[in-house]
């Protein structure tokens, strides 16, 4: 994707694309436009962004692989701060992020209510996909 085109209200209307070779270099003459009114951007994940100061500013412990450390209840080393999804699990599928979002919501509810919740917690922080 080279760029997006929007209308006067700031809504996306088209993507401008170019083909690339195996080295990801643009192929001359391959430019084209694709009409669009919704764009979902999926980016490769390389770890929590530490440049904005949030992770370091809060003093969150990190795992050796670059993710935010958490315990069995999704809690970090900072009281009242929880971590889920790619920032804590590492690069994964969106279904894991959704499941962890629900599970961490239950953990936060337990924290705020003093120990009980009626919210579902479909996965734990250390669960892994089943493989054959």
| Domains parsed from the chain with CATH numbers | 3-35 (no CATH), 45-132 (3.50.50.60)
Given strand 3-6, what is the order of strands in its sheet?
Answer: 3-6, 12-17, 32-35
Q: What is the pLDDT of residue 75?
A: 95
pLDDT score of 66: 87
pLDDT number for residue 39: 79
d(CA 129, CA 19): 35
pLDDT in tens, the chain (132 residues): 888 899 999 888 999 999 988 887 899 999 999 999 887 665 566 677 766 667 888 889 999 988 899 999 999 999 889 998 888 888 888 888 889 989 999 999 999 899 889 998 889 888 887 655
At residue 41, the pLDDT reads 66
Q: pTM value?
A: 0.61
Residues 6+ apart with CB under 8 A from 42: none
């Amino acid at each position: 994707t080279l760029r997006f085109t929007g209308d006067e209200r700031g809504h996306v209307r088209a993507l401008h694309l170019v083909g690339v070779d195996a080295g990801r270099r643009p192929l001359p003459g391959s430019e084209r436009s694709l009409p669009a009114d919704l764009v979902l951007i999926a980016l490769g994940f390389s770890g929590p962004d530490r440049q904005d100061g949030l992770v370091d500013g809060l003093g969150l412990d990190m795992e050796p692989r670059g993710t935010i450390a958490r315990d069995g209840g999704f809690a970090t080393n900072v009281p009242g701060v929880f971590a889920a999804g790619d920032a804590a699990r590492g690069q994964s599928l969106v279904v894991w992020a959704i499941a962890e979002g629900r599970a961490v919501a239950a953990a936060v509810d337990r924290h705020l209510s003093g120990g009980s919740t009626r919210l579902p917690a479909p996965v734990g922080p250390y669960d892994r996909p089943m493989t054959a």
